Structure 1
Amino acid sequence: MSWIQLRLSANRESASALEDALMEIGAAAVTMEDGADQPVFEPGVGERPVWDSTRVTGLFSADADTDALLVALAASYTAPLPPLKVEILEDRDWIREWMDSYQPIQCGERLWICPSWREPTDANAVNLMLDPGLAFGTGTHPTTFLCLQWLDQQDLTGKTVIDYGCGSGILGIAALLLGAEKMIAVDNDPQALIATRDNAQRNNIAPERVECFLPTQIPENLSGDAVVANILAGPLLELAPQLAGYLAPATPICLSGILHTQGDLLSERYSEWFTDIDRAQREEWLRITGQRKAG
Structure 2
Amino acid sequence: MNHFTTAYSTDQDDQSLIEQAIKGNRNALENLLKKHQPYIYNIAWKMVQMPDDAQDITQEVMVKVITNLSKFRGESEFRTWLYRIVTNHFLQMKKQKRETLVNEDFDAFTERLTGLPDVEITLIEIEEKAVEIREMNMACMSGMLLCLTREQRLVYILGSLFNADHTVGADILGISKGNFRVRLSRAKKDLFNFMNNQCGLVNKSNPCRCHKKVTAVVENQILDSKNLLFNREEYASFQNYIGDSPENLSDLMEEKVLALHSQLPYNDTFDKKEFLNDFISDERVISLLNLN
Structure 1 length-normalised TM: 0.22
Q: Tell me which protein shows more strand as a share of its residues.
A: 1
Structure 2 length-normalised TM: 0.22
Specify the structure having the higher radius of gyration (Cα): 1
Q: Tell me which protein shows more helix as a share of its residues.
A: 2
